[in-house]
Structure 1
Amino acid sequence: MREFELLTSVESAQEFIRRHRLSFLYITITGCSVCHALQPQVQKLMTKYPQIQLGTIDAQEVPAVSGSFSVFTAPVLLLYVEGKEYIREARIVHLDLLDEKIGKIYDLVEG
Structure 2
Amino acid sequence: MAPHMENVQTIGQIKDRLSREEIVILLIKSENCSVCDAIENQIKDGAIKDNSVPVIKAKLEDAPEISGEFLTFTSPTILLFINNKEHWRASRFIPFDDLNKHIDFWKT
Q: Give the structure-1-normalised TM-score.
A: 0.86
Q: In the alignment, which of 30, 45, 48 is matched to residue 47 of structure 2?
A: 45
RMSD of equivalent CA atoms: 1.4
Q: Tell me, in whole angstroms, the C-alpha distance in 1 between the residues paired with 2:84 and 2:24.
A: 8
What is the CA deviation profile of residues 65-103 of structure 1, one whole-angstrom value per residue up to 9, with x for unaligned ones?
011111100001011111011111111212223323332
2:58 is matched with: 57
What is the CA deviation profile of residues 9-61 of structure 1, one whole-angstrom value per residue up to 9, with x for unaligned ones?
01101111111111110000011100001112123122x21331110000122
SS at 1:45's partner residue? Answer: coil
**Structure 1: 5+ residue stretches without partners:** none
1:94 is matched with: 95
Instruction: Tell me if structure 2 keeps the 8 A contact 1:22–1:51.
Output: no
Amino acid at match of 1:75: P
Instruction: Tell me if structure 2 keeps the 8 A contact 1:42–1:95.
Output: no
Amino acid at match of 1:26: L
Q: Tell me, in whole angstroms, the C-alpha distance in 1 between the residues paired with 2:59 and 2:83.
A: 23
Q: Tell me, in whole angstroms, the C-alpha distance in 2 between the residues paired with 1:90 and 1:103.
A: 20
How many correspondences in the alignment?
106
Percent identity at matched positions? 25
Q: Give the structure-2-normalised TM-score.
A: 0.88
Instruction: Tell me if structure 2 keeps the 8 A contact 1:29–1:35.
Output: yes
**Structure 2: 5+ residue stretches without partners:** none
